[in-house]
Structure 1
Amino acid sequence: MLKRALSGLLAAGVILGVGELVSVPFGPNSSPFYAVGSAVVDNTPEAVREWAIDTFGTSDKTALFVGMSLIIAALAALAGIMRAPRGAVLFVGLGAAGVIAALTRTGNNLLDAIPTVTGVAVGIVVLNALIRAAESPEPTQGISRRSFLGLAVAAGALAVVAGTAGRMIGQARNVTANRLAFLLPTPKPQVPISPGADLNTTMNIDGLPSYITPNEDFYRIDTALVLPQVPSNTWKLRIHGMVERELEITFEDLMQREAVEKTVTLTCVSNIVGGDLVGNATWIGYPLKDLLEEAGIQDGADMVLSSSYDAFTAGTPLEVLLDGRDALLAVGMNGQPLPVRHGYPARLVVPGLYGYVSATKWVTDLEVTRFDKVTAYWTDRGWGELGPIKTASRIDTPRSGRTVQAGKTMIAGVAWHQHLGISGVDVQIDEGNWMPATLSEEYSKDTWRQWVLEWDAPPGNHTIRARASDANGDIQTSMTADTVPDGATGYPQISVSVS
């Protein structure tokens, strides 16, 4: 039985490896593993998706890959134990699921089924050969038991070599060289709201994140299992729909325009109270308002449906893009071309909205339309249409569950309400009075503010809460709400032990 289970595992490895190699001419969405993974992402119930993000954070895709691998391994072992032809039938069934997943990816066609079909065909041949070798009595049969080891090694080598070659060839087509050669435009410099604000300074407190989030630390939440590879020299942005004139914009066109530099905090709607799916960066790009007005907006339009290279969509209220806020077609992030994982060569950055309705990466299409005519990826899955940011705060230090020394202790964190701004943060120790924290200078109403409170910590166990006030003086709600359908609410809270 052990040999038969191993036969199934090796045959499954061959299916995935050969499928990966054959998918090279067709694109990564035709790979059986990634096609199925993408289908899982698209059809996962919201409760399961939110559990995955809450549990694994930005490692949710890694967790998906591990989970898929374990399920495939279990089914493959079962196929081997079942023997031919039932094991082969099981592989055919799994292959059919892979074909359906590949064919239902936006932009794919019948040719994208070839990698899965080829992989399954080769895998079944390998499965039958391994099982015959595993069960052949010696020395009467042409294939002896001693030949099983040789066939197993050959099958494993085929799986590894094919899969590795497929990944390497695919990666050789990535846009790393294109991105390294990309020249950022020289932007019109931004002016801070407060004369004392400086992007290069931060409250020097252990455990408090820097005011500007480094690119490598900026959170990433999206639906792409394989990062789209879009060279800047072939990229185009189409603006169409309810417009007076359709536009097709290239990077050559953009370089004739004046770029701007704006610092904007982005937040994911899946961010739990006190969570880390929020980051602050300086973006270089072009005002979306200018591009849309150049196309000419027809009466009655109230939404812009943005689409990415991999067919993700987001519906953004048109009025938000036209009201003068720093909504950008961004091409740079913290002084560098956009990292591929953050949308190279171009993405949307819109202050005041959660990313699921505004922050489309790898953007290639803007359709001016209406909310009552079309829906977007996440609104189709039960999330709110408009996605306005809610006032929120976070306690970064001390960390919950830690033990601190009695005496002077710094309680510090960040607070945000993009496009309205933060006017204050209060801190409560146990059930005591709310005490005002000291805020960092306000650089922009579209960015978070750091805050700190010095606490003379007495021995014992303590609960610490925080709450922020927006620029109008309205305090963030204490009402606890889940992330679905339009963002979590409630006060962040930590527990510490003082010794």
Structure 2
Amino acid sequence: MKDALLSRVRAATAGLLSVGAGLAVGQVVAALRDPATSPVLAVGSAVIDRTPTPLKDWAIRQFGTNDKLVLLSSVTVAVLVVAIVSGLAARHRVGVGGAIQVAMLAVAGWAVLDRPFARYPDLIPTVAAGITSLLVLLALLWLDHQPTVRRLVRRGPVALGASGASRRDFVVASGVTATAAVVGFGGARRLTNSRSGVDVQIPTAAEPAAPLPRGLDRSVQGVTPLRTPNAKFYRVDTELTVPTLDASRWSLQIDGDVENPYEIDYSELLRQPLVERNITITCVSNEVGGGYAGGATWRGVLTKDLLSRARVVEPDRPDLQVLSTSFNGFTISTPLGALTDDRGAMLAIAMNDAPLPRTHGFPARLITPGLYGMLGCTKWVTRLTVTTYADKKAYWTERGWTTKGEIKPTARIDVPRSFASVQSGRVLIGGTAWAQRRGVVRVQVSIDDGRWHDATMGPDVNVDYWRQWFYAWNSTDKGTHNVRARVIYGDHEVQTAKRAGVFPSGSSGIEERSFVVR
């Protein structure tokens, strides 16, 4: 009984380590070629594309920007469980164990080729992973003297009776395999990270943005900075690894219902008249009070100039959209008018006085003031196609999200944090508010469902940029209190109190949080 149990444990270990080693080799080969062709990432991307929208929303609410890590971890765990099963199956019939691993290889290969613009050479990392896992499985089962492998090969250099030596060999080989897999994953990560830097010089803007004034964050601790640093800017997209596009090979194609389709490369783009704008962008997945919003200084080329050169055939048609395509075929739908009116939508190549980071779309991305990111902020963009909503549907449109997507005005409370404990006396309540395209007029605060009080406002940068605010409350009663905040915007319109979830057109409602006065 004990020997049988140990034999099953060793077989399961052989399956686990063989697939682990194969995945490590696949990661290294993918890092050398294209990280997106990693079999694990390809399967993860396929899962993302086929996950129902409510489940995606739940994942974002629960895990925030760690949702991709949770997904990859789940895929990896599932693969390793199947790997264990393959080892146990191979203990009795090596062909069955091998077939299970080949089936995993086939799923990964399908996921790789299912990506838009995929080519057959993209299968190289997956094939390398599969060959490695099968060879390691056979080698470990051989060292463990599994009869199925012995019968397969018929005779080997080690006698069947030398069980003690074989088990030591198995343990040593297992340790070496595990170490090699860990080193492989670490090396692949280092290779990928080494390509994440951006070494380009961005020309100064012909129309520079006005310098940002001093923000309230310098005097009210905890309030979001007026300008969000690049490293802390929110990231929400469908990519499981940061794309490493080569600017020298990048180009933007503009086509569709235009008289003059053309293509512009990165060097020509840098020679265009550049503009700078201070713009706050927001993700449609941002819950009331959420952190998926950021303000930055963007530099790039106005999209209305790019589209003017292409000469749209019927620019006044209300059903026209610009279908922007990312490097991997991901698409976003933007109303044509939003990219050609006076709001200053741009193809951005710089962010906060630095080249656009790879995590935020290098070499170029769209920035469209007033629209949620899913409708106007395509990262790693390579194509702009003028077409109709009836002819082409974008990624999110196919999943039931809106094609309008104007950002809803909101006031967010940054301090005090939910259920924070504060000292009685003068309590500073502060945060940020935005109402893109309409402008923040003021913010009002209500304590314990009482009357609304005007907050002290921070600098007014422009209608497309958020504003900081704070309210000083003199607390006298100890215990739990609640605070609400709302924004007054545009022509003195009041933020709606009607609650709505993020699907299909963004959340709404008044943020409310509780804190304790001690």
TM-score, normalisation: structure 2? 0.90
Cα pair 2:101 2:134 within 8 Å, conserved: yes
Q: 1:256 offset after TM fit, Å?
A: 3.2
> Could you tell me which residue of structure 2 aligns to residue 222 of structure 1?
237
**Which residue, out of 81, 86, 89, partners 2:88?**
81
Residue type of the partner of 1:283?
Answer: W
The 2-side partners of 1:141 and 1:370 are apart by 74
Deviation string, structure 1 residues 433-473 (Cα, Å, up to 9, x no partner): 12121211211000111111111122121111111122122
Contact between 1:26 and 1:111, CA under 8 Å: does it hold in 2? no
Whether contact under 8 Å (1:199, 1:212) holds in the other structure is no
Which of 213, 229, 246 is the aligned partner of 1:199? 213
Q: Which of 223-232 and 451-460 deviates more?
A: 223-232
> Does the 8 Å CA contact 1:349/1:358 hold for their aligned counterparts?
yes
- With 452-461 and 20-29 compared, the bigger mean Cα shift is at 20-29
Give the 3-state SS of the residue equivalent to 1:180 in structure 2. Answer: coil
Contact 1:15/1:122 (CA < 8 Å) preserved in 2?
yes
Say which of 101, 119, 127 aligns to 1:109.
Answer: 119
Mapped contact 2:484–2:510 kept (Cα < 8 A): yes
SS in 1 for 2:366: strand
| Contact 1:224–1:310, Cα closer than 8 Å, also in 2 | no
CA contact (8 A) 2:487 2:495 kept: yes
Q: How has the CA–CA distance of structure 1 residues 428 and 297 changed in structure 2, closer, same or farther, with 3 Å as cutoff?
A: same
Partner of 1:213: 228
8 A Cα contact 1:184 1:331, kept in partner: no
Trace 1:66-145 onto structure 2 (pairs within 5 A): 66-82=73-89, 83=91, 84-134=94-144, 136=146, 140-141=160-161, 144-145=166-167
Name the residue aligned to 1:151: 173
- The residue correspondences of 1:319-358 to structure 2 (distance < 5 A) are 319-358=337-376
Cα deviations by residue, 1:29-63 (Å, 9 ceiling, x for unpaired):
32211111111121111122111111121122222
The one-letter amino acid paired with 2:305 is: D
Structure with greater proportional helix content: 2
Aligned to 2:5: none
How much has 1:360 moved relative to structure 2? 0.6
1:492 is the counterpart of 2:515: no
Deviations 1:138-167 (A, max 9, x none): 963477222111221232244344444544
Q: Give the drift of 1:261.
A: 1.1
Superposed counterparts of 1:409-488, under 5 Å: 409-457=427-475, 458-488=477-507
Question: Contact 1:395–1:492 (CA<8 Å) still a contact in 2?
Answer: yes
Q: Which runs of 5+ in 2 are unaligned?
A: 1-7, 148-157
Change (3 A) 1:326 1:199: farther
Picking from 370, 390, 398, the partner of 2:408 is 390
Q: 441-450 vs 250-259, which deviates more?
A: 250-259
**Residue 11 of structure 1, aligned match among 14, 18, 33:** 18
Counterpart AA for 1:121: I
Give the total of aligned pairs.
491
One-letter code of the match for 1:307?
Answer: T
Aligned to 2:332: 314
Specify the alignment match of 1:234 in structure 2: 249
Could you tell me how far apart the structure 2 residues matched to 1:50 and 1:252 are? 39
| Alpha-carbon distance between aligned partners in 1 of 2:181 and 2:42, rounded to the nearest angstrom | 18
Provide the residue aligned with 1:41 in structure 2: 48
Tell me the CA shift for residue 25 of structure 1: 6.2
Instruction: For 1:55, give the aligned amino acid.
Output: Q
- How well do the aligned residues superpose, as a CA RMSD in angstroms? 2.1
Report the secondary structure of 1:283's partner residue: strand
Shift of 1:404: 1.0
Which segment is superposed worse, 267-276 or 292-301?
292-301
Aligned 8 A contact 2:215 2:459 in 1? no
- Worse overlay, 243-252 or 411-420: 243-252
Q: Take 1:86 and 1:248, find their aligned partners in 2: how far apart are those partners?
A: 52
Is the contact between residue 258 and residue 310 of structure 2 (CA under 8 Å) also seen in structure 1? Answer: yes
- State the 1:201 CA deviation: 3.3
- Give secondary structure in 2 for the equivalent of 1:409: strand
Residue type at the aligned position of 2:264: I
